[in-house]
Chains A and B, each alone.
Chain A
Amino acid sequence: MFQDEPYFHPVVYSVSDLTAYIRALLESNENLMDIWVAGEISNLSQPKSGHIYFTLKDINASLRCVIWREQAWRLKGALRDGMAVEAHGHVSVYEQGGQYQLYVDGLRAAGEGLLYQEFLRLKAALEAEGLFAAERKRPVPRLPRLIGIVTSPTGAALQDMLNTLRARCPLVEVVLAPAAVQGEEAPPQIVAAIQALNRQVKPDVIIVARGGGSLEDLWAFNDERVVRAVAASKAPVISGVGHETDFTLTDFGADLRAPTPTGAAVLAAPDIVDLYTELQGWRLRLVQAGHDYVNEGNMELSNLTYRLERQSPLWRVRQGMQHMDHLLQRMNVAVDHYLAFQKTRIVTVQERIHALDPIRVLQRGYALVQDRGGALITAVKQVKLNQEVAVQLADGSFAADVKQIYDKDGKQD
């Protein structure tokens, strides 16, 4: 295309290749990976996608910048054209556009960098002095009677706190010590307010608070005078400055840090619902104590009644009667035993007598021999020859004459 092209370059790159090469170059440079750039915002564009595009300019140059949606939500305030800012990020290339850009992941108002340096210096100094030491922290009373609030009388923060206290614990009293919370006059006013509260109303706890804002807006709470007044306060101090993510030196100097003014109000006073519950507990304890007393009294009384009854004549009579009953019972038992024993003895005797019954002997074949006079003949000597004897058998008797007499050995007499 050019008239006097002397020769063909041995290698020809595509646009994509070159762009990718440049991108790799930029992305591998350490200085460009992590960099702060100061300038003024222009050409600000915030499309629906949530990404933010703008150009950072100074007198001589401009720089395209992008903030991805993922980072954009962390921005504290709205951006405007003309705003002087310091942006942090890394430099890379938007390949389709052929543009190098700053991919922003942090943004602060110009000058905040310096403020931050000052913040760190003062924090280190006060820390070294021991102003933030944990031993200095005083406990916040669980149920304060009087809460002092140091804040702007016109700010939303005050209404947030009063609403919170009204809802949680309307029991407390609030004394507002108004003070400007931003600008030159703020630090001396905040100091005066803390001191006036301590001197005049002696609150149980003081809340020092301010709603959210830029680092500059919150700067009064990094003022050394304020931090010292907070640390020196007789009443314990709860700080509630800015948002969750804001940390001021007042937070470090306070006895308790709340993330927000509302949070400070929550920490300052208990919830009335909990108080009701607690009161119910007290009621139960009281009633229980009453019951216990009555029960103990009753037990002691019945014990005494028993002891008294033991001493009374009636008790002795009853004791005696019981003793007699007992003896009687023993006697009855003894008699029963005796009678039962005698019964068995009679049975035994009867059996023995029965065994000896002569009729039963005769039934076995024996005979009873008697003389005429009826005397029993038990020996041969008692009879004579031809004597008439009566022989009795089981079923009757007959008369017999003695024909012969033999002795034991069978010899004839």
Chain B
Amino acid sequence: MAKAPLPLDQMTYEQALQELENILTALEGEARGLDETMGLFERGKILIQRCQDLLDKAELKVLTLEETQAKSKSGEEE
């Protein structure tokens, strides 16, 4: 939690899950202040919601690399 977290709407599922893991490790570990704890808890809830949204809205994105065939055809190897 040292580095500034990404904006929520830019977070991938994996990143959100990773931060959630950190938060839970903190919450389940040493005792800390009420404000900090409540902050972590709220953040955890938001992250879970983010994950939930990502799963709910997930739609497979497919991109195609254009140049691979062209390149190999012209024999280039960069």
Q: Which residues of A contact B (CB under 8 A)?
A: 143, 145, 153, 162, 165-166, 169-180, 185, 188-189, 191-193, 195-197, 199-201, 272, 275-276, 279, 282-283, 285-286, 289-290, 292-293, 296-297
Contacts and interface: CB of A to CB of B under 8 A. Distances in A.
Contacts of B48: 279, 282-283, 286
B67 interface: yes
Interface string B18-48: 0010011001100100100100010011001
Contacts of B20: 282, 286
A165 B12 contact: no
Contacts, number: 117
Interface string B58-69: 111111110111
Given A173-B61, A275-B55, A283-B48, 7 more contacts: A171-B55, A174-B60, A174-B62, A175-B63, A178-B65, A282-B20, A286-B45
24 contacts: A143-B17, A162-B60, A170-B60, A171-B55, A173-B60, A173-B61, A175-B62, A175-B63, A177-B68, A178-B69, A185-B73, A188-B72, A189-B72, A193-B65, A200-B65, A201-B63, A275-B13, A283-B48, A285-B24, A285-B28, A286-B41, A289-B27, A290-B37, A297-B34
Given A286-B24, A286-B27, A176 B65 contact: yes
B65 A177 contact: yes
Contact of A193 (B13, B23, B68): B68
The 3 closest A-B pairs by CB, nearest first: A192-B72, A289-B27, A170-B58
A329 B31 CA distance: 48
Nearest to A187: B72
A169 B14 CA distance: 13
Contacts of A276: 55
B58 A272 contact: yes
Nearest to A149: B62
B78 interface: yes
A179 B69 contact: yes
Contact of B13 (A143, A175, A195): A143
A176 B13 contact: no
A274 B34 CA distance: 33
A197 B65 CA distance: 8
Contact of A192 (B27, B44, B45, B77): B77
